[in-house]
């Protein structure tokens, strides 16, 4: 569920065009409709993203309501938000509500992270991850899960997930004392801000050719649109977050579906709207919100 496009930073690889000047935010009434849909279908997991979802003033209300229903909550956390004034509640709140965290750290090198996300982002991210560790995240036997996300800096596919995870584990532990559960490698989608960066650099065709030449049919079994629906800040529903950004209606329908419409159905429409950007999910080792699909 995308709680809105407001973010404290503006990364070059962002497929949302999120940033500090965006004003679109999901309101409590829409969240309440989403909770009704969760009840209606018996959905077990709420995965929140943005922007920085914690910047939505109703974030804590939503998480509290979902957890009270026994729903597993995942927060796609841009860790630098925890270093902003007024956000020191984030780590204790997430730990208290036993929210699974998926934190973006697109590289273990300061130069690459700052190039992609902005100056100072690496230090802020490291400090925030250390704070999450202090609250028990990523540590054995706490049950508090801290997953990291890697995106390539430019127009290339992510390296093999397992080997990169081993590098992250070794370097982050040795240099910063940071521990985490899993590393997810996610391919950059050639849409929105990253699409514009590709266009500006004249790399659109090369990147699309790379994605298409790396297509692996077996990745189709694991693409995330088979198992989830994505909700925008107004309550409209899509096959995935990328289709949401492109405005492609749920189930390849002609009209958009709203949360209120889902409440009238017994099951979610099964069709999926696909287009060229889907090669971003099916190239190489595959890519999803849970990392590589292991098609390679």
141-200 residues near ligand SF4, rule: CB under 6 A: none
Query: Cα 41 from chain centroid?
Result: 23
The answer to whether residue 274 forms part of the interface with ligand SF4 (CB under 6 A) is yes
The answer to whether residue 51 forms part of the interface with ligand SF4 (CB under 6 A) is yes
Residue 36: name the closest of 81, 59, 69 by CA.
Answer: 69
The answer to whether residue 239 forms part of the interface with ligand SF4 (CB under 6 A) is yes
The answer to whether residue 26 forms part of the interface with ligand SF4 (CB under 6 A) is no
* 61/292 Cα distance (integer angstroms): 32
Instruction: Label the pairing between strands 146-150 and 72-77.
Output: unpaired
| Helix, strand, coil % in the chain, rounded to nearest 5 | 40, 15, 45
The answer to whether residue 272 forms part of the interface with ligand SF4 (CB under 6 A) is yes
Could you say which of 155, 194, 277, 283 contacts ligand SF4 (CB under 6 A)?
A: 277
Residue 185: name the closest of 227, 148, 219 by CA.
Answer: 148
Nearest approach in angstroms of CB 79 to ligand SF4 is 9
* 219/281 Cα distance (integer angstroms): 8
Could you say which of 149, 278, 283, 293 contacts ligand SF4 (CB under 6 A)?
A: 278
Nearest approach in angstroms of CB 142 to ligand SF4 is 25
Binding residues vs ligand SF4 (CB under 6 A)? 7, 9-11, 14, 16, 18-19, 50-52, 78, 104, 223-225, 239-240, 242-243, 272, 274, 277-278, 281
């Amino acid at each position: 569920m995308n709680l809105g496009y407001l973010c404290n930073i503006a990364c070059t690889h962002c497929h949302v065009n999120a940033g500090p000047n965006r004003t679109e935010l999901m309101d409590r009434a829409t969240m309440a409709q989403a909770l009704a849909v969760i009840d209606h279908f018996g959905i077990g997991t709420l995965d929140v993203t943005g922007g920085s979802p914690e910047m939505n003033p109703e974030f804590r209300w939503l998480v509290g309501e979902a957890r009270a229903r026994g729903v597993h909550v995942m927060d796609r956390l841009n860790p630098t938000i925890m270093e902003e004034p007024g956000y020191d509640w984030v780590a204790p709140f997430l730990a208290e509500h036993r929210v699974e965290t998926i934190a973006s750290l697109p590289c273990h090198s300061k130069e690459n992270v700052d190039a992609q996300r902005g100056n100072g982002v690496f230090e802020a991210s490291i400090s925030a991850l250390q704070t999450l560790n202090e609250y028990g995240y990523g540590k054995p036997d706490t049950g508090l899960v801290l997953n990291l996300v890697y995106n390539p800096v430019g127009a290339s596919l992510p390296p093999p997930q397992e080997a990169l995870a081993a590098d992250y584990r070794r370097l982050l532990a040795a240099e910063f004392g940071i521990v985490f559960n899993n590393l997810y490698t996610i391919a950059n989608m050639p849409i929105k801000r990253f699409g514009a960066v590709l266009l500006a650099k004249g790399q659109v065709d090369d990147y699309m050719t790379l994605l298409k030449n790396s297509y692996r049919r077996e990745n189709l079994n694991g693409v995330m649109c088979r198992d989830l629906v994505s909700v925008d800040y107004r309550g409209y529903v899509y096959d995935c977050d990328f289709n949401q950004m492109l405005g492609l209606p749920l189930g390849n329908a002609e009209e958009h579906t709203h949360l209120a419409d889902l409440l009238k159905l017994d099951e979610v429409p099964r069709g999926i709207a696909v287009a060229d950007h889907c090669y971003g999910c099916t190239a190489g080792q595959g890519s999803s919100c849970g990392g590589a699909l292991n098609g390679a």
